[in-house]
Amino acid sequence: MNILVVGRGGREHSIVMKLSESEHVTRIYVAPGNGGIAGEATCVAIDEMDMEGLVKFTKENAIDLTIVGPENPLNAGIANRFYEAGLKVFAPTKEAALLEGSKSYAKEFMKKYDIPTAASATFNSVEEAKQYIDLKGAPIVIKADGLAAGKGVVVAESVEQAQEAVNEMLVTRAFAEAGATIVIEEFLAGKEFSLMAFVHENHVYPMVTARDHKRAYDNDEGPNTGGMGAYAPVADVSSEHLAFATEEILQKTVDGLMKEGRPFTGILYAGLIMTTEGPKVIEFNTRFGDPETQIVLPLLKNDLAHVLVDVMDGKDPQLEWEEGSCTGVVVASEGYPADCDKGVRIPEMSSVEGAFTVHAGTKLEGGSLVSDGGRVLLVGAKEDSLEKAAENVYEALASVDDMKGYFYRRDIGKS
């Protein structure tokens, strides 16, 4: 098989690393890719939003399967365009991807199909939103309705902070059109975890659970980010809770999408929280999570290319998983998730047994790897225990002589 992966981040690099193990894969192309991916696959200079360019490339290079990583092309209809062209693509249509593209749609969908989630209300009026906050009090959660690269969520500890978030989204338009409508939710207490699944229509094949750390700094402090590290599997999620999440959340969701005339093919990601009443949905993504993909795929025993083909053909891929744990820590540019410098030299780490590096925001410049985004690398490790995996990751990070221009959390895999 010749495979095209669409995207440029750590998730796409991890997909490439897993596909590279497959005996079924002849060539891997990535559009546009990044500096680290370029060492393992053929990067092509086509933007992920250039659908006509991607269709043309796919036809001219005999691509057997395209895998779409990021959310923006999904919500712009890349799968629809590929289907129109008669091309095989593992990705949901824009109609199905709306589950991630609009939080207000997702909340109405969950209410309709009795999928457990936080109570909420949707607003585009500043005054009405603030009145609702005054009524409900704090803590409370404010979310931009549209796609905001994982940053359009404020967990407000006070009414004043919540109202400030409303101003940022609806008045100053911090997230542009993505925040023109906002969703205000009740705050749910509990530990969060992620559950991804391979999906084709009403068939759901769940992966192992993962826990992502969204806050920028240690002890879950600082602003929300796209994710500063993750580990899998999550020991405090019982088999009973996993079965509930699979049947009452994932299966209900894909069945509901079928009823809505929005059949889903691709990766369905449920961001969940364990409440006293059981798992509830915080958010849906309609693609591989980032950074969860980077620590879940290394635990998959199966050939990823074979899994995707089986799922699309309506066959059970018979997923098998490693017994151990995997953890990963994101190395981010100073200033992230706000504006940060690019073009900073990539830190060099000593080799540590069991550790690996995934490139996210990197590029080649004059033959050297430099930063090209907020989240730059993920350093991961797979071991028999979570403690040993985390130890190996931090041993690799400690070997860096000069981390100037970068920062990372020091508590991933320890809570």
Residue 101 lies in a domain: no
Q: Are 170 and 180 in contact (CB under 8 A)?
A: yes
Confidence (pLDDT) at 152: 85
* 294 and 347 co-located in one domain: no
Residue 113 lies in a domain: no
E strands present in 124-264? 140-144, 153-156, 182-186, 191-200, 203-206, 211-212, 215-217, 221-224, 229-232
Residue 114 lies in a domain: no
Residue 241 lies in a domain: yes
**Could you give the CA distance from residue 144 to residue 337 in angstroms, rounded to a whole number?**
16
CB under 8 Å to 271, separation ≥6 — which residues?
192, 194, 212, 281, 282, 283, 284, 285, 289
* 41 and 125 co-located in one domain: no
* 83 and 25 co-located in one domain: yes
* 204 and 292 co-located in one domain: yes
**Could you give the CA distance from residue 229 to residue 212 in angstroms, rounded to a whole number?**
6
Residue 106 lies in a domain: no
Per-residue pLDDT of the chain (415 residues; tens, 9 = 90+): 999 999 999 999 999 999 999 999 999 999 999 999 999 999 999 999 999 999 999 999 999 999 999 999 999 999 999 999 999 999 999 999 999 999 999 999 999 999 999 999 999 999 999 999 999 999 999 999 988 877 788 899 999 999 999 999 999 898 888 889 999 999 999 999 999 999 999 999 999 999 999 999 999 999 888 899 999 999 999 999 999 999 999 999 999 999 999 999 999 999 999 999 999 999 999 999 999 999 999 999 999 999 999 999 999 999 999 999 999 999 999 999 998 989 999 988 888 888 999 999 999 998 899 999 999 999 999 999 999 999 999 999 999 988 999 999 999 988 6
In angstroms, the Cα distances linking 267 to 47, 68, 203, 394 are: 22, 10, 11, 30
Domain boundary among 91, 111, 133: 91
Domain boundary among 131, 157, 186: 186
* 28 and 83 co-located in one domain: yes
Confidence (pLDDT) at 415: 61
Structural domain range at position 378: 325-407
Length of the chain: 415
* 329 and 368 co-located in one domain: yes
* 284 and 394 co-located in one domain: no
**Distance between start and end Cα atoms, the chain:** 41
* 197 and 275 co-located in one domain: yes
Residue 412 lies in a domain: no
Residue 207 lies in a domain: yes
Q: What is the CATH classification number for the domain harbouring 375?
A: 3.90.600.10
Q: What is the CATH classification number for the domain harbouring 131?
A: 3.30.1490.20
The tally of domains found in the chain comes to 4
Confidence (pLDDT) at 254: 98
The two beta strands, 265-275 and 278-285, are antiparallel
* 57 and 20 co-located in one domain: yes
Taking each continuous run of H as one helix and of E as one strand, the counts in the chain are 13, 23
* 199 and 307 co-located in one domain: yes
Q: What is the CATH classification number for the domain harbouring 43?
A: 3.40.50.20
Residue 317 lies in a domain: no
Domain boundary among 137, 156, 186: 186
Q: What is the model's pTM? A: 0.94
* 285 and 390 co-located in one domain: no
Confidence (pLDDT) at 177: 85
* 264 and 369 co-located in one domain: no
